Structure 1
Amino acid sequence: MNPCRCGQALEPGYACRRGPNERCVAQYGARISGPLLDRIDLRIEVGAVTAADLILPPPTEGSAETAARVAAAREIQTRRFAARGLTGVITNATCPATVIEEVAAPDADGTRLIRDAAEAMRLSARGFHRTLRVARTLADLDGTERVGRLHLAEALSYRGRAERPVAMV
């Protein structure tokens, strides 16, 4: 979604005609209910593409390599859930919460991080489990057996800000 009604509040040097940019962003963001926002796993702010961005060298990992990593991760997930006898469950996104707690059990450092982050970010039970699902997927993409602190940190970074925007009048 856009950051505000006009979509330009985060552009450098832009002044929103509706008032201070922060107010416009807060009012627009407050229109989304907490329970709906809690169901969105990846919230990433993407800035406008500049001319300088267009002339950057290509990324080191191309589409074919990315597709191969994703296919390998999906195969790992399919095998994981088939070995547990879960019919109809082929991805981390579709497995039950009790199972994700087992298969995404983090190492000691990760456990401390998710515990502290759950309090600081006020994660709901749904938010907690969705974070574990994303972290398990990131570990699968890395080809690692155990979910680590790094995977959880990245998954938590996709949750967005801890507090909801407050509409300012």
Structure 2
Amino acid sequence: TDRVTMGLWSIAGSCEHPEAAMKTLNELYSNPELSNLYMYGIEGVHYEVIEEGAVTNGQDRINYPDGLDATTTTYRKSGTWLMPNQFIGDIWGTDLPADYWDATKTFNEESQKSAAFGFSFDATQVANEITACTNVVNKYHKALVCGALDPETTLPQFNSELKDAGIDAIIAEKQAQLDAWLAEQK
């Protein structure tokens, strides 16, 4: 649930001009030109149309202009899935099918959600254990991921330190909360 909700767009309670912020969000959700500008940059500078109306809903296919690529552009196109409404924007490159946005919508609608979707863990009861386990993870993670430590000898030590730090208490608390939440959902 926290991975899904991290990409939500909202207006902060301390916003000085919430009406203007809402107008901006509405435009980002509904205006294809603004969506493209936000996702891809300026047409003719950061991208160019390579095939007009090539997508099933009439959107264009776009790509870098001649002489530009991901290493030379001054506008970084990344994380477009986080944009307010990528479905109204053009499609980047030539490798995606013409029905890409329709296929993506269908995939999203038909995907099976986790039985725990909507559950939110309250870590209050195990805050100290979480801090201790985080310290253990921070101690080993980077060195393990980059291959500086031998997993065969390091992982048992890593797991032992996690147990000592209280990972079993965290798991038990989270499982108890999840079980209670699931029972309420029936």
Is the structural similarity TM-score above 0.5? Answer: no
TM-score, scaled relative to structure 2: 0.23
TM-score, scaled relative to structure 1: 0.25
Greater Rg over alpha carbons, structure? 2
Relative to total residues, which structure has the larger strand share, 1 or 2?
2
Name which structure has the greater RCO, CA cutoff 8 Å, separation 6+.
1
